[in-house]
Amino acid sequence: MAAAARTLRIGLIPGDGIGREVIPAGRRILESLPSSLGLNFSFVDLDAGFETFQRTGSALPDKTVETLKTECDGALFGAVSSPSTKVAGYSSPIVALRKKLDLYANVRPVKTTAGSSNGKPIDLVIVRENTEDLYVKEETTRDTPDGKVAEAIKRISERASSRISTIAGEIALRRQNIRSTSNIASVHSQPMVTITHKSNVLSQTDGLFRETARQALAAAKFSSIHVEEQIVDSMVYKLFRQPEYYDVIVAPNLYGDILSDGAAALVGSLGLVPSANVGDNFAIGEPCHGSAPDIEGLGIANPIATLRSVALMLEFLGEEAAAAKIYAAVDGNLDEAKFLSPDMGGKATTTQVLEDVLKRL
C-alpha cells in the first residue's frame, strides 16, 4: 500500500527588488515536482522588506511571523533592500526572522558543476552562526575630547557555538553519506569540518568559539570526521587559492557572512548561490544575491540561486529525494549552458532559465 502523500505549507516572502521575480520561480519548481515523490504543497503569501516598511511602518509585520510559526512548515525569502544609511525605526527583516524563529544556522553551499570552466571541482558548504557575534547590533556612540567613538558588542556564547558546530558536523556526515551512496567522486576520503576563528587576537570571544566547536565535534557520533581549524585571514587566502580542498566550514556570524559572499565569486555569480536559515524545527530558503535594484523589472534575474534554495529548504524538511531532483535539473541546465542568464554570460531571461530547468525535472 502506497504511503500517504505529505503536504507541506510554504510561506512565500518575496521582499524587495528581484525577490518578486525569483520567488514565483521557486513556487513553480515545487509545483512541478514529480507526483511519485508523494509531496503536495500549499502556499501563503507574506509581507516583509523595506518597501513593506515604507508602506506600513514595519519591515516584518507580526502577522508574517505568526503565520510562519503557526501555519507553515518552511518558507522562501526573496531579498531585502536595506538602506546603506540609518533609517529611523527600520531594521533588517531577515535578521529579525532569524531571531524570532531561532534559525541559528545559515547554510550556504558553493558548488561548481561538470560544465564549469573554473577547472577546480568546488563542492563546499559554509555553516555560519546566525544569532550573535557583532550582529547582535548593540552599538553605542559617545563624544570624547578626540571626537566621536563608536563601539559595538561582539557576543559569543557556548550554547550558540556548540549547536552551530553540531549542525556543521551533521551536515558533513550527510554529505559523506550522499557521496558514498551515489558514488560521487570527491577529493575527501572522509568528511571534514574546518573551524574558522581569530582566537590568536580575540582570545575570549573567538577563543570560546574555537574551544566549544572542538568539544562539540569531539562527540562520538562525529568520530569519522576530520576536524581542523584555520585563522580567518589565512582562511580567506586558502579558500581562494585551493577551494577544492574544503568540505564544511563553520564560522561565527561575521566571518561566515564574509566568507560565504566571497566564495560566490569562485563559481561565477551570486545568482548561483543558495542559502538556508535553519533551526531545529524550521527552515527558510534564501538566495544570496540580494535585491539587485539595477536589474529589477528587466526579467533577467538569475533564478538558479532560488531554485537551489528551494532544494536546500527541502533537505532540512527531510525531503532529500525531492531536493536531489531539483539539484540534478539545475546542474543539467548549467552543464549544457544553453540557457544562461546575463550574470553568467548568457542572454536568457528568468523565464527561459526556469522553463529549461522545469523540463529537466
Per-residue confidence (pLDDT) for residue 140, from 0 to 100 = 94
DSSP string, 34-46: -GGG-EEEEEEE-
pLDDT per residue as tens digits for the range 309-345: 999 999 999 898 899 899 989 989 998 989 999 988 8
**Sequence-ordered alpha helix ranges (H) in the chain:** 19-31, 50-56, 62-71, 93-100, 158-181, 205-217, 232-241, 253-264, 304-316, 320-336, 350-360
167 pLDDT above the threshold of 60: yes
Per-residue confidence (pLDDT) for residue 355, from 0 to 100 = 97
Amino acid sitting at position 257: D
Q: Is 41 exposed, middle or buried (0-12, 13-18, 19+ CB in 10 A)?
A: middle
Per-residue confidence (pLDDT) for residue 187, from 0 to 100 = 64
pLDDT-derived band at 12, boundaries 50, 70, 90:
very high
**CB count in 10 Å sphere of residue 89:** 9
User: 150-267 adopts what CATH topology?
Assistant: Rossmann fold (3.40.50)
> Over the chain, what is the mean pLDDT?
91
CB 310 within 8 A of CB 26: yes
DSSP string, 102-120: T--EEEEEEE--TT-SS-S
Integer Cα distance of 103 and 98 in angstroms:
5
180 pLDDT above the threshold of 90: no
Average pLDDT over residues 339-354: 94
pLDDT-derived band at 265, boundaries 50, 70, 90:
confident
CB 331 within 8 A of CB 300: no
Residues 6+ apart with CB under 8 A from 347: 340
- % of the chain with per-residue pLDDT over 70: 95
Q: Tell me the domain boundaries of the chain.
A: 1-118+268-361, 150-267
pLDDT-derived band at 171, boundaries 50, 70, 90:
very high
Per-residue confidence (pLDDT) for residue 262, from 0 to 100 = 86
What are phi and psi for residue 333, nearest 5 degrees? Answer: -60, -45
Q: Give the global pTM.
A: 0.88
CB 286 within 8 A of CB 277: yes
What are phi and psi for residue 6, nearest 5 degrees? Answer: -100, 130
pLDDT per residue as tens digits for the range 104-162: 999 999 988 765 555 677 889 999 999 999 988 889 999 999 999 999 999 999 999 99
Per-residue confidence (pLDDT) for residue 344, from 0 to 100 = 87
pLDDT-derived band at 277, boundaries 50, 70, 90:
very high
Integer Cα distance of 328 and 318 in angstroms:
18
Per-residue confidence (pLDDT) for residue 186, from 0 to 100 = 60
| 103-122 exposure pattern, b = at least 16 Cβ within 10 A, e = fewer | bbbbbbbbbbbeebeeeeeb
Q: How remote is the C-alpha of 65 from its chain's centroid?
A: 20
CB 249 within 8 A of CB 257: no
Per-residue confidence (pLDDT) for residue 264, from 0 to 100 = 81
Per-residue confidence (pLDDT) for residue 118, from 0 to 100 = 54
Domain spanning 1-118+268-361: CATH 3.40.718.10: yes
**CB count in 10 Å sphere of residue 356:** 18
Per-residue confidence (pLDDT) for residue 284, from 0 to 100 = 97
Q: Is 27 helix (H, G, I), strand (E, B) or coil?
A: helix
And the C-alpha cell for 57? Answer: 511602518
pLDDT per residue as tens digits for the range 223-255: 999 999 999 999 999 999 999 899 999 999 999
